[in-house]
C-alpha cells in the first residue's frame, strides 16, 4: 500500500485508535475522514482534526479493501526464518511516519531461540521515536501478531527498550530519502 491523501466517508460505525495515545474512539457512520497513510495493516486517518488509526480488517468502513496479508511459504527451513521475520517486520509502520519500523531503526535486535519440538521463539527488542508515544503497545501487538504468523515461530517476546534512545542516525538511507532528509 502507499501513502495517499483521499477523502472517504465512514460507511458504518467503527472503533479506531487515537494517535498518539492509542485510546479507542467510536466513529459514527456518515462522518468524513481523510486517509493520510495506507501502509502495512492499517489506515491512518484525519477525522475532525484528530489523527486516528483504522485496522485493515475494518477497511470496509471507509469503502476500501483490507490490505493484503504477508504470504509465507508453507515449508520453511529453520535457517530461512530470520529472513522471513525481518521481511515481516518491514510491513509494520509507525502510524505517523510513512516508513516501516526496520528502516526507521526502531528494531534493535531480533534473535531466535530453539524450542522443544523444533520450532522457534523470536526475541525482539524495539523502541519508539519518543518514549512517551502512546502507540507503543499497539505497535508491539502488531509485531507479535505478524511474527507469530511466520512459519516455525511458536513464541515471541517483544521488549520495548529506550536505551540507547532512538535518534535519526538509526534510519536507513531509504527512510531518510522517503522523509526528504
pLDDT tens-digit readout, 22-61: 899 999 999 999 999 888 889 999 999 999 999 999 999 9
For residue 84, which phi and psi values (nearest 5 degrees)?
A: -65, -40
Cβ neighbours, 10 Å, residue 177: 12
Say if pTM beats, i.e. exceeds, 0.75: yes
CATH code reported for the domain at 6-62: 2.30.30
Q: Mean pLDDT, to the nearest integer, of 107-130?
A: 94
- What does the pLDDT read at residue 125? 97
Question: DSSP letter at 67?
Answer: P
Which residues make beta-bridge pairs with 152?
none
67-98 tens-digit pLDDT = 888 888 888 899 999 999 999 999 999 888 88
| CATH code at 78-178 | 3.30.300.130
The pLDDT value recorded for residue 4 is 65
- pLDDT for 39 equals 85
DSSP 21: T
Domain with CATH 2.30.30 in the chain: 6-62
Q: Percent of the chain having pLDDT more than 90?
A: 71
**DSSP per-residue letters across 142-162:** HHHHHHHTSTTEEEEEEEE--
Amino acid at each position: 500500500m502507499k501513502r495517499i491523501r483521499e477523502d472517504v466517508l465512514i460507511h458504518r460505525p467503527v472503533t479506531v485508535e487515537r494517535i498518539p495515545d492509542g485510546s479507542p474512539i467510536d466513529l459514527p457512520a456518515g462522518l468524513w475522514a481523510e486517509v493520510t497513510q495506507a501502509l502495512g495493516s492499517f489506515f491512518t486517518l484525519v477525522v475532525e482534526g484528530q489523527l486516528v488509526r483504522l485496522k485493515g480488517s475494518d477497511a470496509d468502513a471507509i469503502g476500501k479493501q483490507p490490505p493484503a496479508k504477508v504470504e509465507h511459504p508453507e515449508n520453511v527451513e529453520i535457517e530461512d526464518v530470520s529472513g522471513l521475520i525481518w521481511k515481516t517486520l518491514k510491513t509494520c509502520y509507525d502510524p505517523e511516519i510513512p516508513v516501516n519500523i526496520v528502516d526507521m531503526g526502531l528494531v534493535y535486535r531480533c534473535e531466535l531461540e530453539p524450542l522443544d519440538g523444533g520450532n522457534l521463539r523470536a526475541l525482539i527488542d524495539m523502541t519508539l521515536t519518543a518514549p512517551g508515544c502512546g502507540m507503543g503497545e499497539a505497535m508491539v501487538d502488531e509485531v507479535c501478531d505478524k511474527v507469530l504468523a511466520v512459519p516455525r515461530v511458536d513464541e515471541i517476546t517483544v521488549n520495548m527498550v529506550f536505551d540507547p534512545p532512538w535518534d535519526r542516525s538509526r534510519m536507513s538511507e531509504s527512510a531518510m530519502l522517503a522523509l526528504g532528509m
